[in-house]
Amino acid sequence: MNYLINNQPKKTKAFIAGVNLNDPNFDYYMTELRELALANNLDVVGQASQKAENIVSGTYFGVGKINQIKNMARELYPKVLVINDELSPTQIRNIEGMTKLKVLDRTELILEIFSNRARSRQAKLQVQLARLQYELPRLHPSENNLDQQRGSGGASGGFANRGSGETKLELNRRTIGKQISAIKKELKDISKQEEIKSARRNNSCLPQVALVGYTNAGKSTTMNELLNVFSDEANKKQVFEKDMLFATLDTSVRRIDLKDDLSFILSDTVGFISKLPHNLVESFKATLQEAKDADLLINVVDASDHNMVQMVKTTQKVLAELNITDMPMITAYNKADLTERNYPQIEGNDILYSAKDPESIRQLANLIVKRVFDNYEKVNLVLPLSDGKNLAYLHEYGQILSEDFKDDGIHVTVRLSPKDLDKFKTNAI
């Protein structure tokens, strides 16, 4: 329960713990777990870890480590024990029984954060679906009231009561199964609507650029600053940004109009994290469709974080799970202002920048132009004087270099995409 203090909810004290199976990235995962706990309004008061060759099937930790955590908890007064891995129902019940603390595993913690942050109908349904898929295999007869009657009566009575318990369990499973089916159907309908919107954007011939990367690396800030630098209506189009994990789960799409009449569609996708629950990856495939349809990905990385390399690997792993491979990419190392390195710097397809620095944003835009407009060609066209529709199209989706109204038509020098080159081939001179 949260209590309001000066209009702010009081944070619940939490203790984090995990088992290290000789994993070189274990410390990184524990740091990440702490950040996840903070993102869920938990106050981390302590942590513990155990090195082991294998996980103990019934209790996750060895009994000695559980007793140690129990003794530490007596001094620190946490209410919640957050575990670095996904646990089985048996492990959760046993640890709770031995420590007298509420146990929250990593998967459920992430699900809680996603549930609190979802805003759109699509995001809320995706989180609800992932939660139901997480809960379904965790249903257990002992959680049913009927199951408490098993020990009474004779052999036939015991059998009958056990059957009642199992019937209740199956009823719960069917109920969740129906909910999952209903949510999948609604998500499919929403997905169709999003596909129509995406198709319209693709048919516009404007290049599609998607921001991807680790959560809290600065994707939303990058989008907002691109809007600030290049859009006259930036304040009307800002996306939500905050210095915390999973500040937003909804994909935002904006049109960026650069100088020289160059424009592209930019999407800001949900952030990634290590050990992202598989059900969430599956649930958010529709949300990440923007990344799959993109002409260019911008992998935003926090250059000030010493776990930067691991974050890049995490993003690559999640993209691979989504079958997003072999796609043109810019690796954008953000938050250079928090390091001692000079910025902005561009080396090949990499940029070191600060999303809060206008010059960095202009350099990033130049790099985007170089990547997505590289296959555009400059052509000379002549349009009929009455062809205002195609002239407007060229202004909307091409880069007009010159325009001259003459007796024989409208002479236009324009830079076009390969798709539009074919569209206007009969007008070329």
**Spacing of C-alpha 62 from chain mean position:** 34
Q: Is 249 annotated as a binding residue?
A: yes
10 Å CB burial of residue 196 (0-12, 13-18, 19+) is: exposed
Q: Is 202 annotated as a binding residue?
A: no
**CB < 8 Å & 24+ apart, contacts of 61-66:** 61/17, 61/19, 61/95, 63/98, 65/17, 66/95, 66/98, 66/99
Q: Is 139 annotated as a binding residue?
A: no
Q: Is 214 annotated as a binding residue?
A: yes
10 Å CB burial of residue 130 (0-12, 13-18, 19+) is: buried
Q: Is 336 annotated as a binding residue?
A: yes
Q: Is 247 annotated as a binding residue?
A: yes
Q: Is 356 annotated as a binding residue?
A: yes
Q: Is 218 annotated as a binding residue?
A: yes
Beta bridge partners of residue 263, listed in sequence order: 257
Q: Is 326 annotated as a binding residue?
A: no
Q: Is 100 annotated as a binding residue?
A: no
Q: Is the peptide bond before 207 cis (omega within 30 degrees of 0)?
A: no
Q: In a 3-state reduction of DSSP, which class is residue 140? A: coil
Q: Is 348 annotated as a binding residue?
A: no
Q: Is 269 annotated as a binding residue?
A: yes
Q: Is 270 annotated as a binding residue?
A: yes
Q: Is 398 annotated as a binding residue?
A: no
Q: Is 182 annotated as a binding residue?
A: no
Q: Which amino acid is at 116?
A: N
Q: Is 80 annotated as a binding residue?
A: no
Q: Is 287 annotated as a binding residue?
A: no
Spatial distance between the Cα atoms of 240 and 419, rounded to a whole number of angstroms: 34
Q: Is 271 annotated as a binding residue?
A: yes
10 Å CB burial of residue 236 (0-12, 13-18, 19+) is: exposed
Q: Is 314 annotated as a binding residue?
A: no
Q: Is 213 annotated as a binding residue?
A: yes
Please give the annotated binding residues for Mg(2+), written as ranges. Answer: 220, 248
Please give the annotated binding residues for GTP, written as ranges. Answer: 213-220, 246-250, 268-271, 334-337, 354-356
Please give the annotated binding residues, written as ranges. Answer: 213-220, 246-250, 268-271, 334-337, 354-356
